Amino acid sequence: MSLLEISDLTKRFGGVVAVDGCTLSVAEGSVSGLIGPNGSGKTTVFNLVTGFLRRDSGEVRFKSRSIAGLGPDRVYGLGIGRTFQLARIFPRLTALENMLVPVRRAGLRAMLSHGQWRHERERAMEMLEFVEIAHVAGTVGGALSYGQRKLLELAAVMMAAPELVLLDEPAGGVNPALLEKIADHIRKLNRQGVTFLLVEHNMGFVMNLCDDVVVLHRGKAIANGKPKDVRENPAVLDAYLGA
Amino acid sequence: MTGGNPLRRSRGRVGWRLKLFGLLTLAAVAILLPVIAPDPATTNIAVFTMMYVGLATAWNIMGGYTGYISLGHAAFFGFGAYALGLMLIHLNITPGYGPFFLIPVAGLLTAVLAVGIGWIALRTRAATFVIVTIAFMFMLQLLAENLVKLTGGGGGLGLPYPHDWGGDFFNTPYYYAMLLLAVLGLLTSWWIRRSKFGLGLLAIRDDEDKALAVGVPTRAFKLTAFVISAALVGMIGGVYGYYVTYIYPQFVVDPLIGISMVLMAFLGGLGTLSGPVIGAVLLEPAQLEFAYHLGASRLYLVFYSAVFLVVILLLPRGIVPSVAERIRRWRAAEAAS
């Protein structure tokens, strides 16, 4: 069953058609990859799904419910988390405070709830231990290394237990040892039932991690399937090699 | 490795007993001040200092926590003063303690105005937001000047005042009213800083889009902080109006009042609880001294700009964060040796 369905999604920026009738779906419980050359519209698709951009036409459904037109906070509230291309964390808050910011249920309860609630803090510490950065829990975000920020961003987005997580270049700018760790964390979280859709340029990472791959080219999905099938698809080779 | 409570990173090793003692001493001094120094010249300074403690604290709830710098909070100050004044006149309230009970109503009315202004102003960010708040302030000033039938226009609005409060006593009720509002502001600020709502505000300050991406309803949070901040300022404006008994558009919707609260929060430390208090306690008495010695001329503004320059150049983060940082370094060095 698909958790996320995108159909005929279109977004124009002036004369540029960034996403052009894109149709794809993400199966529940999968780790799916969204790949394509630079400028093929991958991040725009992320921004459209998560409510950072408004679509021109088309439909986005999450758990069979239309989510097009909802703002980013509402989308997160429904269970779709995301990370950003260059790890974005709150630089003047500590790592632990970063973990406590996410709000799944808004409204009065969220406003009045205590930022230092014991159970929430315990869960945050568990997540930090899971990604192996618990020792910097009291350090402000701005003082963390890039790798630690990446891990913190991933851990923080998991705090509100989203069902689907969109990762924008999880392997970008990361050393090989950390890369393996990140892949490992994603696999473990996936086994716990979290579905992932990731944009990535590191093909080794994608081929190794993803169950399904969708290839985007000029805003259209031109191929999808198992990683090894997609890799041999002539249309994909054309798009990447520019025939 | 995680040791202790990392959320309490900024708290030093000062024992809680010492802190409690310090806090109680401060509270005792604040409460007993009119008894210790009852002469009107001193209590007048005390009223205005406490007023700015409240104003800077209230402003900090929006400006310090969310990073949205409003230079137009004088609009709420003036609105609160006019709201109270008009209620006293039209409801025929006998001057005395009665008017103080209408202060919350003035705050509520200011909150309603702030919902409207915030609704529009918070569609913008950064420099645009600063300018929009200034624009709203001047709109309010112009309205106060031109709605002559309602506000008395440039001729001012006279508020009833308690004739039977005389001599040394006159300033005392106003001082306690200002003290009460300052404490209310501090408690609100303290509560917000420790709540999930407050964490959301700090997240907005750091990276608003990222905050949205992790589910923080940023518009609702910003508007709430703005309205709370404005309502507190409006109530303080009400007490001010009742204290000075005659209000003029250019002196209550005064850009200088708006800038003073900002400067005090900056000087003490943006986004901290004690920073605005320290800023106000340092600046306001000095400002009054200067104004007193330099006469009615606005030469004291030169002093203000000098302070502002020193803050920006030497203590860009304000006194509290800078001193805390020094102490941390000193302790680290001591521990290392």
Residues A41-73 pLDDT 10s: 999 999 999 999 999 999 999 999 999 889 999
Q: What is the reported pTM? A: 0.91
Least Cα distance to B219 among B147, B102, B120, B316 occurs for B120
User: For position A108, what pLDDT does the model report?
Assistant: 63
Query: Shortest CB distance from B194 goes to which of A115, A141, A156?
Result: A115
Report yes or no: B328 at the A interface, CB cutoff 8 Å: no
User: For position A119, what pLDDT does the model report?
Assistant: 81
Question: Would residue B262 count as lying in a domain?
Answer: no
Question: Would residue A114 count as lying in a domain?
Answer: no
What does the pLDDT look like over B171-224, one tens digit per residue? 999 999 999 999 999 999 999 998 889 999 999 999 999 999 999 999 999 999
User: For position B335, what pLDDT does the model report?
Assistant: 83
Question: Would residue A127 count as lying in a domain?
Answer: no
Question: Would residue A80 count as lying in a domain?
Answer: yes
Mean pLDDT of B252-276: 93
Report yes or no: B204 at the A interface, CB cutoff 8 Å: no
Q: Interface pTM (ipTM) of the complex?
A: 0.91
Question: Would residue A211 count as lying in a domain?
Answer: yes
| CA distance to A39, A150, B213, B231, per residue, from A6 (Å) | 19, 27, 20, 45
Question: Would residue B105 count as lying in a domain?
Answer: yes
User: For position B164, what pLDDT does the model report?
Assistant: 86
Question: Would residue B183 count as lying in a domain?
Answer: yes
Search chain A and give the residue with CA nearest B219: A73
Using a CB-CB cut-off of 8 Å, the residues of chain A touching B224 are 111
What does the pLDDT look like over B133-167, one tens digit per residue? 999 999 999 999 999 999 998 899 999 989 888 88
Residue B316 exposed, middle or buried by CB count within 10 Å (0-12, 13-18, 19+)? exposed
Question: Would residue B321 count as lying in a domain?
Answer: no
CATH of the domain at A27: 3.40.50.300
User: For position B309, what pLDDT does the model report?
Assistant: 86
Search chain B and give the residue with CA nearest A73: B215
pLDDT at B5 exceeding the cut of 50: no
Q: How far apart are CA B144 and CA B71, in angstroms?
A: 18
Q: How far apart are CA A66 and CA B221, in angstroms?
A: 26
Which residue would you say has higher pLDDT here, B58 or B315?
A: B58
pLDDT-derived band at A106 (thresholds 50, 70, 90) equals low
Range of the domain at A209: 2-89+162-241
User: For position A110, what pLDDT does the model report?
Assistant: 58
pLDDT-derived band at B1 (thresholds 50, 70, 90) equals very low
Q: Which residues of A98-110 are buried (b: 16+ CB within 10 A; e: fewer)?
A: bbbbbbbebeeeb
Q: Which residues contact B124 (CB under 8 A, 6 or more apart)?
A: B132
Q: How far apart are CA A36 and CA A14, in angstroms?
A: 22
Task: Name the token pair of A56.
Answer: 């021109």
What does the pLDDT look like over B212-248, one tens digit per residue? 999 999 999 999 999 999 999 999 999 999 999 999 9
Residue in A52, A111, A153, A167 to test binding to B, most B beta-carbons within 10 Å: A111
Q: How far apart are CA A216 and CA A235, in angstroms?
A: 11
pLDDT at B333 exceeding the cut of 90: no
User: For position B290, what pLDDT does the model report?
Assistant: 80
CB-based contact B214 A81, cutoff 8 Å? yes
Which residue would you say has higher pLDDT here, A232 or A90?
A: A90
Cα A97 to the center of its chain, rounded Å: 21
Question: Would residue B89 count as lying in a domain?
Answer: yes
Q: How far apart are CA A139 and CA A148, in angstroms?
A: 11
Residue A14 exposed, middle or buried by CB count within 10 Å (0-12, 13-18, 19+)? exposed
Question: Would residue A63 count as lying in a domain?
Answer: yes
User: For position A67, what pLDDT does the model report?
Assistant: 94
User: For position B3, what pLDDT does the model report?
Assistant: 40
CB-based contact B2 A77, cutoff 8 Å? no
Shortest Cα distance, chain B CAs vs residue A24, angstroms:
22
CB-based contact B209 A102, cutoff 8 Å? no
Range of the domain at B53: 38-159+167-253
pLDDT at B124 exceeding the cut of 90: yes
What does the pLDDT look like over B36-92, one tens digit per residue? 999 999 999 999 999 999 999 999 999 999 999 999 999 999 999 999 999 999 999
User: For position B10, what pLDDT does the model report?
Assistant: 44
Mean pLDDT of A113-142: 87
Which residue would you say has higher pLDDT here, B37 or B299?
A: B37
Mean pLDDT of A132-151: 94
Which residue would you say has higher pLDDT here, B11 or B24?
A: B24
Using a CB-CB cut-off of 8 Å, the residues of chain B touching A76 are 212-215
Question: Would residue A7 count as lying in a domain?
Answer: yes
pLDDT at B6 exceeding the cut of 60: no
Average pLDDT value over all residues in chain A: 90
Report yes or no: A157 at the B interface, CB cutoff 8 Å: yes
Q: Describe the strand order of the beta sheet including A57-62 as a list of residue ranges.
A: A16-27, A2-13, A57-62, A65-66
CB-based contact A157 B214, cutoff 8 Å? yes
SS3 A126: helix
Residue B170 exposed, middle or buried by CB count within 10 Å (0-12, 13-18, 19+)? middle
Total count of domains within chain A: 1
The residues pairing with A236 across neighbouring beta strands, listed in sequence order, are none
Question: Would residue B122 count as lying in a domain?
Answer: yes
Please report the beta strands in A123-243, taking only residues with DSSP state E, as ranges in sequence order. 164-168, 195-199, 212-217, 220-225
Decide if B6 contacts A94 (C-beta within 8 A): yes
pLDDT-derived band at B289 (thresholds 50, 70, 90) equals confident
Question: Would residue A100 count as lying in a domain?
Answer: no
Question: Would residue B301 count as lying in a domain?
Answer: no
Total count of domains within chain B: 1
What does the pLDDT look like over A170-227, one tens digit per residue? 988 889 999 999 999 999 999 999 999 999 988 889 999 999 999 999 999 998 999 8
Mean pLDDT of B13-18: 73
Question: Would residue A147 count as lying in a domain?
Answer: no
CB-based contact A73 B216, cutoff 8 Å? yes
User: For position A237, what pLDDT does the model report?
Assistant: 84
User: For position A109, what pLDDT does the model report?
Assistant: 64
